[in-house]
Amino acid sequence: MVNEHWPLFDLEIRTPTLTLRYLDDELTAELLAVARRGVHDPAVMPFLVPWTDLPAPQMEQEAMRFYARTRADVRPAAWNLQFAVIVDDHVIGLCDLMAESFPALRQFTTGSWLGREFQGRGYGKEFRQASLALGFEGFGAEYALTGMWHDNAASKGVTTALGYEFEGRRRALRRGVANEMLSYRMTRAHWETIRRDDIELVGVDRAREFLGI
C-alpha cells in the first residue's frame, strides 16, 4: 500500500540475500529485540554513542526516542534514513544513510550494526552494497563516506574490501576516553566499477521528491 503522506515508508532496497526496509514502529520493536540479545562483546564499544551500555528498559526507551526523533527531523536540508535489515522475513540489524545539504554536496554517510548472532555470514558487505546502490544510483550521490574506531576489524574489512579510500584519522571520546576513529570515502567513479545489477530499488522516485533531491 502506498503511503501518501510519508513516502519513505515505501522505500526498500532488495538484493538476492536481504532487504533494507525503512524503519517503522513494528520493525523498530523487532530491531530492539535483536539488540537486546546482543550486538557486540561488552568489553568493546564499536559505536560513537554507547547506547548498548544502557540497561533494560532504558536502552529500548532511548532507542525508541532516537528513531522517532530521527524520523521526525527528516528535511531536505538534513536527513538520517534508518533501515531494518531483513533476511527471510526476520530483522537482523540496522543500516542508515545520513546527509546534510545533499542537493549541493552530493555525499552521504553510512552506519550500521548487526545482531551478534548474525555476524560473520557476509551480511555486512551485502547491505553496505545495498546502501551504496541507494545513495549512488537512487539519489545520484558523488561520494559515500564511512568511519569506524581504529580497531573495528569487521567494519574496516567491509570498507576496504569494497575499495573505499582512506581519508584520515580523528580523535573522539569512546566511553569517555580519547580514542582514534578512521575515515574513508568512495567516489562515484569507483562505485561504477563495483556496481551490481541485481539490486532493486523500490519507492525511490517519491523518496527523492520528498527529500528535495
pLDDT of residue 1: 59
pLDDT recorded at residue 3: 78
pLDDT value at residue 4: 83
Q: How many Cα atoms sit within 13 Å of 58 on the Cβ side?
A: 6
Q: Residue-wise pLDDT tens for the chain (213 aa)?
A: 567 889 999 999 999 999 999 999 999 999 999 999 999 999 999 999 999 999 999 999 999 999 999 999 999 999 999 999 999 999 999 999 999 999 999 999 999 999 999 999 999 999 999 999 999 999 999 999 999 999 999 999 999 999 999 999 999 999 999 999 999 999 999 999 999 999 999 999 999 999 999
The rounded distance, in Å, linking the Cα atoms of 142 and 123 is 25
Residue bearing cell 541485481: 198
Alpha carbon distances (Å) from 48 to 53, 180, 181: 12, 11, 9
